């Protein structure tokens, strides 16, 4: 979606709210920020102690599934949730995003 100037911006499907959030940056600015270290702050609330080895163990076609999910009140403390790698298609189907329907604003 474009910003107020008409330029397209990056949108992010937040796993803790299941809402699409506008990052308010174009792709180049967003990518430069991520490469420069902004990813740590961006994902701060979705990480848990020892997340690195769990994430490194995932293949590129996998995601970490948590129970209870982070968009529920019980799942807000991701460090207390049960976590396991699942196929990306399974993770996306849990939130209603399928190959035929890419949700968005």
Q: What is the pLDDT of residue 3?
A: 59
Residue 19 lies in a domain: yes
75-95 pLDDT per residue, tens: 999 999 999 999 999 888 877
Integer Cα distance of 3 and 22 in angstroms = 9
State percent of the chain over pLDDT 90: 58
Query: Which residues partner with 20 through β-bridges?
Result: 13
Residue 58's SS3 state is coil
User: Does the structure show a pLDDT above 60 at 102?
Assistant: no
Q: How many domains does the chain have?
A: 2
Q: Indicate if 18 and 58 belong to the same structural domain.
A: no
| Same domain? 57 vs 76 | yes
Buried b (16+ CB within 10 A) or exposed e, 54-84: eeeeeeeebbbbbeebbeeeebeebeebeee
Q: Is 102 part of any domain?
A: no
Q: Which domain holds residue 61?
A: 48-97
Query: Do 58 and 88 share a structural domain?
Result: yes
Q: Which two tokens stand for residue 5?
A: 């100037």
- Do both 19 and 53 map to the same domain? no
Domain-embedded: residue 27: yes
In the predicted model, is pLDDT for residue 99 greater than 60?
A: no
């Amino acid at each position: 979606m474009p910003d107020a100037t008409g330029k397209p911006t990056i949108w992010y499907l937040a796993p803790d709210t299941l809402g699409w959030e506008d990052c308010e940056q174009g792709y180049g600015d967003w990518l430069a920020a991520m490469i420069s270290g902004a990813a740590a702050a961006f994902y701060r609330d979705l990480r848990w102690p020892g997340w690195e080895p769990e994430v490194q163990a995932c293949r590129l076609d996998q995601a970490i599934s948590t129970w209870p999910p982070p968009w529920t009140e019980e799942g807000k403390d991701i460090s207390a949730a049960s976590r396991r790698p699942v196929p990306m298609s399974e993770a996306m189907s849990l939130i209603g995003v399928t190959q035929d329907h890419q949700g968005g604003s």
